[in-house]
Structure 1
Amino acid sequence: MRENWKSRKGFIFAAAGAAIGLGNLWRFPFQAYKNGGGAFLLPYFVALITCAIPLMIMEYAYGRKIRGGSVKAFSKLKKKLEIVGWIQVMVPIIVMTYYSAIIAVAVVFMVFSLGHAFGIINWLSDPGPIMGMVTGSAKNALDLGAGMSIYILIAVIVVWICNWLIVKKGISGGIEKMSMIFTPLLMVLMIIFMINAVRLKGSAIGLEALFKPDFSKILVPSIWVSAYAQVFFSTTLAVGVMIAYGSYLDDKADIVNSAIITVLANSSFDLIAGVLVFSTLGYLVSNMGVEFTSFGTGAGVAFIAFPIAISTMSTNVVIQGLLGFLFFFCLFIAGLSSSISMLESFTTAALDKFDVSREKLVSIISIVGFCGSACFASYAGFNYILDIVDAYVGNIVIAGLGLAEVILVSYIYGTSKLREEANAYSDFKVGIWWDYLLKYFTPLLLGAVVITNLFNIITELLKKDTAGVVSNIVFGWGTVIIMIIASFVFYKKKWTAKAQEVAPTLNDKKVNL
């Protein structure tokens, strides 16, 4: 018998934890900053209503109806479409390999923060040298002999052990229990840090830079594409996570409200992160005379700017260290809640098709995943290859899968049937407008995102030197090709799971979904 979530609250916390991740901390603030500030919020909220919420409802409803992950979900539409499901769950596996390396840096900095508290190492006021020591340096992505970060490698082991311990216990025994504790804790800690950041001298400068609207940009098409891309990617849609989570919902679960709460929780974290990041940067701009982008628009914000800001919160070394530990613990929680959802996405899909125990399967995936993460613990891997793989998987594969998913489910299964099932036990009902969004509006917007991203990657590739071109072909397109080949191999294997020895399609009259 298929496992179910024990409570709605547990499911919401798990789904919100899956959507909330390290990327929220810097991606939304800098997307808003460069795309019109407060004016960016209009297309952002429109994207939430017209894309994120409808797709979240669709994935929850279809996952519950199928009672399976992405592989089973697409094979039910049409047998040959099973390969789409495998490509979809390959995404979180690939993402986990480098995402775990980023979480590992948070683990390392947690330890260093405790060292700071006990007077062993004084680094929070000047984190640059420590960051350099941990991540090292390389000439380019092809400089594979540059070295390996022993700090990241050891911390990656810790991250994968945590993933393994939680996911092998299943939905109610592992993921739900962990999410009930860590997701609300993460929100509380981030709100505390946000409130403190707003109180810093110069925070108003940062908030003005983030939220002051530049309405001259609001009619620029690229701004709307950026807003949809931000909402789409930050909610963990189209990678099998929410379909898998939806498959464990009770038959009488309120799908519509659950979807709305999940999306709004994620967007709330986006806004909290925006206020936190730019209040902190405003302080640094005011007191150090640097630019808002001096610390980069990625991990540099969390690993360089925040330690400096934390060091100013108190002159007491012990308090500084403990605050640093709490902050990097927040990052660790955010990363871990997302990584376990990625691991569960593939696990659910594989358990649907193959006769294997959850513990054995999770153990195998964790070992393979750790080997992949070890590659990103190299100096070339962390500093160069990570960004290349992330760009190709995020901008080409995920966007393409989102487009394919909404078209295939909407036109083969049918939005009207799915709407009836989603509304059946929901307090808030979606109307026929939901059908039109999924059939016409959302595919057009996602199509624009896919085309824009593909165009940008190709044009950027043409500007690179020889090493850059080779790196992008090997690690970018190479990763995409490996994902497709691996998906085809799994697709060709026979269904051996006892509950699903044959994967009949929706057109098979013997199937009772």
Structure 2
Amino acid sequence: MKQKNSFSGQIGFVFAAAGSAVGVGNLWRFPYLAAKDGGGLFLIIYLALVLTVGFVLLTTDIAIGRKTGKSAIYAYESMRKKWKFLGVITFLVPVLIMTYYAVIGGWILRYIVIYLTSSGKQAVADDCFTAFISSPSSVWYGLIFMLLTALIVYNGVEEGIERVSKFIMPVLLIMVIGIAIFSLTLKTTLDDGTVRTGLQGLKVYMKPDLTGITVGRFLQITLDAMSQLFFSLSVSMGIMITYGSYVKKDVDLNKAVSQIEIMDTGVAFLAGVMIIPAVFVFSGLDGMSAGPGLMFVSLPKVFYSMGTVGRVIGILFFVLAGFAALTSCISVLESITANCMELFHTERKKTTRVLSVIYLIATAVIALGYSIFYVEVALPNGSTGQLLDIMDYISNSFMMPFISLLSAILIGWIMKPSWIAKEMELNGEKFKRKKLYNVMMRYIMPVIMVILFLQSTGVLNLIMK
């Protein structure tokens, strides 16, 4: 069944796709990894991967979507009937991600409320974040965020998703640039008279640190950058296939892919400029903890250290994070909605209503995973986690590298790269990176994805020991 909805044009598609790609992971995970993995060294590796692996994965998903006019399940089936299973696996990734993304959105919403109603002092209390997520009342914030997401998807592609993305993305870009510039102007004098400045923090961020570099260390940094790529570009989860199915045939996909790459990577880089200098000035690099610790613990302390202006920056930052979470959450729910519309031959509004009920329940369960439904499970990658961490591990660390591996085999050796190239050259446009795409898809992608899959399941660590 051909999708009846579509984006109005290239700008609408690029903003929506970039909105999906620019998520919370760009704002906390990218800066953390850059600080942990040698600053400029990580940036160089990540940029190289974006221009090669990221380009291949993004091009493949979008071209598959537009060429077939279908979402993941039926897109793969229309290519090869025996490969419908890959579409089903791909569909399951957003199904799992949607169970917890609104929960994270709810956390951000809570901090927006804190900064709007107080000086931000509450946010720097030692147990603020932990006390909040471990309280059953935290569930309401996640439910509100989920309802907002569902309302936008309910209104369709052009009137809902595209309209919101066209507003949010320019605002988000302006806010990121503005806070990044402000971050570079910061400075503080320590008790011993040493002065720390934002520009010193920028040097820490940008300068490649080769201290203690080994082959194993280089490989780990590369794997970190690769895993960030999945977070960042929304690839191998069916979202870009769905969005690609809404793209009109007169849109130049070559330009669109490049614009999405630039916008997404630019925001990730600027997020580092925004966060690392500020954290460096007020906390050194000790505050660069992973995950929620950076966004909900370290940064509020930085904002509070700024005095009155810190409250304003805190409001701006969490509104910015809320926008990023919302556009990503919308794309995840839209992917699920589009697949269900095709599977059950139902119209959008009815499908969205049913999915809203399902995911309001799922959001509540995951949000309560830190209180009423608390569990602690050992994961194959060596970490332990609650319900949210389990869903995140299965979808991002296990399924996405596996999907990319199978996709490389299907496109590289069964359909052949020329199948994608024809769609990229549909209107006479030149597929400038065709040779790169062919080599990457057939020979390099399968190897990279096998390594990443082994690493995410803990097998690679055992081998290296």
Does the pair score TM above 0.5? yes
Summarize the alignment of residues 471-482 of structure 1 with structure 2, pairs less than 5 Å apart. none
State the match for 2:280 in structure 1.
282
What is the identity, as a one-letter code, of the residue corresponding to 1:34? K
State the match for 1:337 in structure 2.
327
User: Counterparts of 1:269 and 1:33 in 2: how far apart (Å)?
Assistant: 16
Give yes or no for the alignment of 1:60 onto 2:62.
yes
Q: In the alignment, which of 321, 324, 346 is matched to residue 314 of structure 2? A: 324
Q: In the alignment, which of 387, 391, 394 is matched to residue 393 of structure 2? A: 391
Aligned-pair identity (%): 28
User: Counterparts of 2:42 and 2:169 in 1: how far apart (Å)?
Assistant: 27
What is the identity, as a one-letter code, of the residue corresponding to 2:106? A
Q: Structure 1, residues 179-220: CA drift from partner, whole Å, max 9, x if none? A: 000111111111111111111113344333333312363753
User: Counterparts of 1:285 and 1:306 in 2: how far apart (Å)?
Assistant: 10
Q: In the alignment, which of 98, 118, 133 is matched to residue 116 of structure 1? A: 118
Q: SS at the partner of 2:208?
A: coil
State the match for 1:401 in structure 2.
403
Structure 1 residue 457 displacement after superposition = 8.9
Number of equivalenced pairs: 436
Summarize the alignment of residues 415-426 of structure 1 with structure 2, pairs less than 5 Å apart. 415-425=417-427, 426=429
Summarize the alignment of residues 253-264 of structure 1 with structure 2, pairs less than 5 Å apart. 253-264=251-262
Summarize the alignment of residues 17-416 of structure 1 with structure 2, pairs less than 5 Å apart. 17-116=19-118, 122-124=121-123, 126-136=124-134, 148-150=135-137, 152-201=138-187, 202=196, 203-215=198-210, 217=213, 219=215, 220-286=218-284, 292-294=285-287, 296-315=289-308, 320-378=310-368, 379-380=370-371, 384-416=386-418
Q: Would the aligned equivalents of 1:56 and 1:237 in 2 still touch at CA under 8 Å?
A: yes
Q: What TM-score comes out, normalization by structure 2 length?
A: 0.88
Q: SS at the partner of 1:448?
A: helix
Q: Would the aligned equivalents of 1:77 and 1:409 in 2 still touch at CA under 8 Å?
A: no
Return closer, same or farther for 1:206/1:397 CA change in 2, 3 Å cut-off.
same
Return closer, same or farther for 1:234/1:199 CA change in 2, 3 Å cut-off.
same
Structure 1 residue 277 displacement after superposition = 1.7
Q: Would the aligned equivalents of 2:282 and 2:305 in 1 still touch at CA under 8 Å?
A: no
CA RMSD of aligned residues (A): 2.3
Structure 1 residue 458 displacement after superposition = 8.2
State the match for 2:453 in structure 1.
450
Q: SS at the partner of 1:217?
A: coil
Structure 1 residue 266 displacement after superposition = 1.0
State the match for 2:192 in structure 1.
none
Q: Would the aligned equivalents of 2:71 and 2:245 in 1 still touch at CA under 8 Å?
A: yes
Q: Would the aligned equivalents of 1:281 and 1:305 in 2 still touch at CA under 8 Å?
A: yes
User: Counterparts of 1:389 and 1:7 in 2: how far apart (Å)?
Assistant: 35
Return closer, same or farther for 1:295/1:217 CA change in 2, 3 Å cut-off.
closer
Return closer, same or farther for 1:320/1:44 CA change in 2, 3 Å cut-off.
closer
What is the identity, as a one-letter code, of the residue corresponding to 2:203? E
Q: SS at the partner of 2:326?
A: helix
User: Counterparts of 1:122 and 1:213 in 2: how far apart (Å)?
Assistant: 36
State the match for 1:500 in structure 2.
none
User: Counterparts of 2:112 and 2:224 in 1: how far apart (Å)?
Assistant: 33
What is the identity, as a one-letter code, of the residue corresponding to 2:359? G
Return closer, same or farther for 1:122/1:274 CA change in 2, 3 Å cut-off.
closer
Q: Structure 1, residues 64-123: CA drift from partner, whole Å, max 9, x if none? A: 010001001111123242222122122112112212111101111111111115xxx842
Q: In the alignment, which of 433, 438, 460 is matched to residue 436 of structure 2? A: 433
Q: SS at the partner of 2:458?
A: helix
Return closer, same or farther for 1:310/1:360 CA change in 2, 3 Å cut-off.
same
User: Counterparts of 2:460 and 2:346 in 1: how far apart (Å)?
Assistant: 40
Q: What TM-score comes out, normalization by structure 1 length?
A: 0.80
What is the identity, as a one-letter code, of the residue corresponding to 1:217? I
What is the identity, as a one-letter code, of the residue corresponding to 2:53? C
User: Counterparts of 2:88 and 2:286 in 1: how far apart (Å)?
Assistant: 38
Q: Which runs of 5+ in 1 are unaligned?
A: 137-147, 287-291, 461-513
Q: Structure 1, residues 20-73: CA drift from partner, whole Å, max 9, x if none? A: 111111222222222222122222122112111122112111110100010011
Q: Which runs of 5+ in 2 are unaligned?
A: 188-195, 375-384
User: Counterparts of 1:413 and 1:345 in 2: how far apart (Å)?
Assistant: 24
Q: Would the aligned equivalents of 2:283 and 2:302 in 1 still touch at CA under 8 Å?
A: no
Return closer, same or farther for 1:184/1:433 CA change in 2, 3 Å cut-off.
same
Q: Would the aligned equivalents of 1:39 and 1:218 in 2 still touch at CA under 8 Å?
A: no
What is the identity, as a one-letter code, of the residue corresponding to 2:99? T
What is the identity, as a one-letter code, of the residue corresponding to 1:196? F
User: Counterparts of 1:263 and 1:28 in 2: how far apart (Å)?
Assistant: 15
User: Counterparts of 2:5 and 2:450 in 1: how far apart (Å)?
Assistant: 36
Return closer, same or farther for 1:76/1:456 CA change in 2, 3 Å cut-off.
same
Return closer, same or farther for 1:4/1:134 CA change in 2, 3 Å cut-off.
same
User: Counterparts of 1:166 and 1:293 in 2: how far apart (Å)?
Assistant: 39
State the match for 1:463 in structure 2.
none
Q: SS at the partner of 2:457?
A: helix
Q: SS at the partner of 1:123?
A: helix
Structure 1 residue 310 displacement after superposition = 2.1
